[in-house]
Structure 1
Amino acid sequence: MTQTQSDLAGLSRFIFRAPRWYTSLGFALVIAAFAGVAAFDSGEFSPTWRGFLFIGRDAWEGVFFIGVPTVVASVATTGVDRFVGGKLTPNRSSLLALAGELLIVAFTTVAAVLTVLTPLEQTFVYDSLIVSLASVFALRLLVIVAVSRRSLLLATVPASVQTVAAAALLFVYSGTLRYLEVGGPLLDAYLLPYLARSDQAPPEITAIGANHFLLLAVLCALYAGSVYALVVVIDRPWRKSLGVSPLDFLRGFIGHVAEGSRELEEFFETLGQDAIVPVTVLSFARDDGSEKARFVLPMIHPGPMGEIGGGNFPERVAMRAEGMAFPPHATAGHDFNLVTEREVDTVLDAVDRAMEDVEYSAEATTSVHARSGEAKVLGQGFGDDALLVSTFAPNFADDVEYGVGLTAATEARTQGLDDVMLVDAHNSNNGLEGPDLGHVTPGSQ
């Protein structure tokens, strides 16, 4: 396995299926309440402020200043994005809003811990909140550019929803407008009561002033420039050399997580190549002719990750088999991953055709072991065919390259066997880290 293949395989740990949008919203509000307790330290329990009877003021601050903008972003981003020609769906919008909230929670919680461990005061938490809002804008901008395929300028509109909603609440309830030289009698009489409501908010919020909003604007501009630079530096060279973009991968990943879409497979299909590989089947039948067990070994790799491509191949084999199914690991690396789940059907169709040509024998040999250096092979003959299982245990090894396995099987057939099923036991791997990942290539072992 190469380092690039290792990195791709390592992404499987991040594969999950996101809940529906309303579940994400409920979870977001709960997390916001806990974040408020952890980060906003008023030291009080208020049964009357804003009418909440069962939670402290800190929890309500979290719900109001972190949770409400998340809800607004979850509900409004899809409409705003589609208004400017985007393609963001409600599930993706909710997932993105939740990711933004988790980023805010991480910033504010770490800041709160630092205020406990250091001489920093509570205002540091609000400073961190401002920085986190700018970071949320940058994250949303990158994702929306990837998902909606809009220009950076247009993408800033839906990307700013969560940050603007949070900033608006902080602006109103911190009373910042009272400290600005803005307005006149009409503004003071009709708008100021609605745009400056510090008397209805916790006194700690008044620590936020005009300089915080200026900082937020500057950071958002800098982060937008960073996103643009990232797109220019990474995206354009990929498109020029490979015809695909890392943003396509990001869009496909989000689509798979949020909705189970096939966009990620479309990305891999763009990079993939056609290949003809052998498919070997070893079947065991009962006396009445019914199938007892089936070994299915196409020379492919069950990947690249999760249920994408051939990742779900073993389950599909088990569903197709009449008896017990054994889909062992073939002597093939990640360059033989199936790029789409549709190709699994192609392989299974080949298995069905192979089953029609299976010739059963009542004879079998005892199993024998052979060893050469670190490599060990367990073999057993069935009629004129054989099942061979290779391993390097207790030494470490990863995928056996396609050419190595094909050569070994061919060598076995020169000894008088009609057909050989060569299995990679794949049972002694020390992970995906380090300079030598154990890929078995010609001459490496």
Structure 2
Amino acid sequence: MLWAATVLLGLLASFVLGKETSLFFVTFGMFLFASFRIGIYTTTLGVSLKKAWAICFVQPLAMFAVLIPQDLWFQTLSDPMALFYGVSFMIIASVWSVLTDRAGRPGMESTHKTIQAYLASQKNDHTEAEEIMEGRSSETKVATSQIRLSANEGGKEFRMVLPEIHPGPYHPVGGSNIPYLIYKNLSSSAMVMHSISDHALNLPSKK
């Protein structure tokens, strides 16, 4: 879509300015496509910058070979202005990748690893996310208050529970379902309230 938008804007510019349509925008769009892939590979897939550079052109070049007639390949790919702007965006994408990975320091060693751990947790693989949180967590004592109501006959009980543990940080990581676990542990006869604690009292892992 980014590539197509670049070509369409080039056609629009040629029409408005009354200039001959140039293949510059085709080549430039391909470089933009490759630059965008560098960001995706390094941020969400955890690929190193060197590997991202090595593979970012595979799909764009394959599409280029299919869309552009063979006799125009050299002419299109040798446009010095397109190469200059294209390589500039590749460098910008690489610098952006490095800076965003360091953006969370010193609190986060790697912003990209945190993003990757979050994405993995959305597929119920919460190991990496919990390891990151455990590394920044500390032990503390918490209190749990409850009101227990008992029937005079039959021995039935009902409880209202106020745990100081915060139900978080997010599903399915840590103690996100702690209210339900308490509810089940009390024979499904309880109302588990949300305490006034904040995310500082999240359980960092299910362990």
**Which residue of the partner structure matches residue 96 of structure 2?**
230
**Distance (Å, rounded) in 1 between the aligned partners of 2:28 and 2:135:** 40
1:299 maps to what in 2?
Answer: 164
1:137 has 2:38 as partner:
no
For residues 273-297 of structure 1, the C-alpha deviation after alignment (integer angstroms, 9 at most, x for no partner) is 2222112233333432233x33232
1:150-186 CA-partner distances (Å, limit 9, x unpaired): 531123234433333322322xxx21x32467xxxxx
Q: Is 2:125 the partner of 1:261?
A: yes
**Distance change (3 Å), C-alpha of 1:180 and 1:338:** closer
Q: Flag the structure with larger Rg.
A: 1
CA contact (8 A) 1:127 1:212 kept: no
Q: Are the aligned partners of 1:310 and 1:337 in contact in 2 as well (CA < 8 Å)?
A: yes
SS of aligned partner of 1:326: strand
Instruction: Provide closer, same or farther for how the CA distance between residues 320 and 243 of structure 1 changes in structure 2, counting only shifts above 3 A.
Output: same
Residue 252 of structure 1 aligns with which residue?
117
Distance 1:135 1:165 in 2: 15
- CA distance 1:246–1:282, change in 2 (3 Å): same
The within-5 A match list for 1:410-421 is: none
TM normalised by structure 2 equals 0.69
Question: Shift of residue 247 of structure 1?
Answer: 0.9
Partner Cα separation in structure 2 for residue 247 and residue 235 of structure 1: 5
Identity score, percent: 22
Q: What CA deviation, in whole Å up to 9, does each residue of 1:315-372 have, x standing for no partner?
A: 33343331343221211122222222x15xxxxxxxxxxxxxxxxxxxxxxxxxxxxx
Give the total of aligned pairs.
Answer: 198
1:294–1:269 CA distance, 2 compared to 1 (3 A): same
Q: Does 1:315 align with 2:194?
A: no
Give 1:277's aligned residue.
142
Give the 3 Å change call, closer, same or farther, for CA 243–220 of structure 1 in structure 2: same
Report the equivalent of 1:11. none
Q: CA deviation at 1:108?
A: 4.0
Q: Aligned residue for 2:64?
A: 167
CA positional deviation for 1:255: 1.6
For residues 339 and 216 of structure 1, the distance between their equivalents in structure 2, rounded to whole angstroms, comes to 49
Q: 1:232 to 1:107 in 2, by over 3 A?
A: same
Matches of 1:314 and 1:216, distance apart in 2: 58
* Kept in 1: contact 2:101–2:110 (CA 8 A): yes
- Relative to 1, partners in 2 of residues 1:223 and 1:304: Cα closer, same or farther, differing over 3 Å? farther
Unpaired runs of 5+ in structure 1?
A: 1-103, 182-208, 344-445
- Alignment deviations for residues 229-288 of structure 1 (CA, whole Å, 9 cap, x no partner): 23443434645x23521111111122223x321122322222322222112233333432
User: Which residue is equivalent to 1:178?
Assistant: 71
Secondary structure of residue in 1 paired with 2:146: strand
Q: Secondary structure, in 3 states, of the residue corresponding to 1:242? A: coil
Does 1 or 2 have the higher relative contact order (CA < 8 Å, sep 6+)? 2
